[in-house]
A and B are shown apart, each in its own frame.
Chain A
Amino acid sequence: MRNKIFRFTLYFKVLFMDKQKYLDDIRDIKEIMERSSRFISLSGMSGIMAGIVALIAAYLAYKTVYTHQDYLDYRMAILNSETIMILLIIAFMTLILSIGAGIFFTSRKARKQNHKLWDRQTKRLLVNLSIPLCTGGILCLMLLFKGYIGLVAPLTLVFYGLALVNASKYTLSEIRSLGIIEILLGLLAFHFIGFGLIFWSIGFGILHIIYGIVMQRRYGS
């Protein structure tokens, strides 16, 4: 009888330990699949910095477009070749600063985690991000020079969102929901045309900061 009980407990012990081993195996498999096929060094800090840069840029753009006007009156966007030039310079600076911050913080994170930054996953991510993004960028430039300035802010949001959704297969899964929100904001901005800059500040400024903080908490800096 005692022998039977002993064998019984032994059987359960083996079964239980095996189960733990297989649970570990499954966890390892998932982790390696993630790490080998996705770009996961994306830093939350770069999102926060890009958001801050975008808010400053939106403020400068606002000052440029609505210059010399009474705050309480109806405000009209004043556009001439000079203000368009200033807007383009602001846009260009914003782009350079955000990309710079992104590269800086992401490569720092990759170094900390001992990952290689420039590998196949990174290239695949960038290519898939660039296709919708460059299309949108070129389209917006064309529209800007034809004078359709009101369409530019909503369109940048829509195309940025599409680019994120497209790239999300190759990086952290949160990027997908960020992309979908950007698309929705862009569509809303089309509806409430004239408030483009406000939607743009929410999409590129506030959302980036929120997502940056969430990623920072979830995945570390």
Chain B
Amino acid sequence: MKDLLKDLNKAFENKIRLGIMSALVVNEFVDFNNLKLLLDVTDGNLATHLKSLERKGYVTIKKEFLDRKPNTKYFATREGKKAFIKHIQAIEKLIK
């Protein structure tokens, strides 16, 4: 039991951060607006959670201009993917 809990990642306890990672691991990248639509959250809320994932090194950012409008793309890092998969595996074990 204790071993299982150890593998759970605090960074993914929050629903929004969990959602962000779910979208990023199955896509090459997702931009800010699509993430917002996908998770149905406010700009500020999404930005805060993205920032915290970025600080952990799970997410990287690429800023671009599309038709002169700023467009931010988010990528899951290799570390982020690894940590997320570990988290899911821990959850699956817990449920069993």
Interface residues of A (CB under 8 A from B): 18-19, 22-23, 25-26, 28-29, 32-33, 35-37, 114-116, 119-120
Number of A-B contacts (CB under 8 A): 47
Q: Flag if A116 contacts B37 (CB, 8 Å).
A: yes
Q: Flag if B26 contacts A19 (CB, 8 Å).
A: no
The residue on A at minimum CB distance from B84 is: A29
CB distance from A176 to the nearest CB of B (A): 18
Q: How far is the CA of A22 from the CA of B34 in the complex (A)?
A: 25
B47 within 8 A of A: no
Q: Flag if B91 contacts A36 (CB, 8 Å).
A: no
Partner of A29, one of B22, B27, B37, B95: B22
CB distance from B14 to the nearest CB of A (A): 10
The residue on B at minimum CB distance from A38 is: B26
Chain B residues 73-96 with CB under 8 Å of chain A are: 88, 91-92, 94-95
B18 within 8 A of A: yes
B30 within 8 A of A: yes
Q: A36-B26, A116-B37 are in contact. Are A25 and B91 (CB under 8 A)?
A: yes
The interface size bin for chain B is: 10 to 19
CB distance from B27 to the nearest CB of A (A): 6
CB distance from B53 to the nearest CB of A (A): 15
B41 within 8 A of A: no
Interface residues of B (CB under 8 A from A): 15, 18-19, 22-23, 25-27, 30, 34, 37-39, 88, 91-92, 94-95
Partner of A22, one of B19, B37, B95: B95
Q: Flag if A26 contacts B92 (CB, 8 Å).
A: yes
- Most chain B beta-carbon contacts within 10 A, residue among A18, A28, A33: A33
Question: DSSP majority for the A interface?
Answer: helix
CB distance from A106 to the nearest CB of B (A): 17
Partner of A37, one of B26, B88, B91, B94: B26
Q: Flag if B95 contacts A19 (CB, 8 Å).
A: yes
CB distance from B77 to the nearest CB of A (A): 18
Q: How far is the CA of A25 from the CA of B88 in the complex (A)?
A: 9
Q: How far is the CA of A22 from the CA of B93 in the complex (A)?
A: 10
Q: How far is the CA of A36 from the CA of B31 in the complex (A)?
A: 11
Q: Flag if B18 contacts A36 (CB, 8 Å).
A: no
Q: How far is the CA of A77 from the CA of B19 in the complex (A)?
A: 59
Q: Flag if A33 contacts B26 (CB, 8 Å).
A: yes
Q: Flag if A26 contacts B91 (CB, 8 Å).
A: yes
Q: How far is the CA of A89 from the CA of B37 in the complex (A)?
A: 42
Q: Flag if B22 contacts A32 (CB, 8 Å).
A: yes
Q: How far is the CA of A115 from the CA of B19 in the complex (A)?
A: 17
Partner of B23, one of A26, A36, A114, A115: A36
Q: How far is the CA of A25 from the CA of B19 in the complex (A)?
A: 9
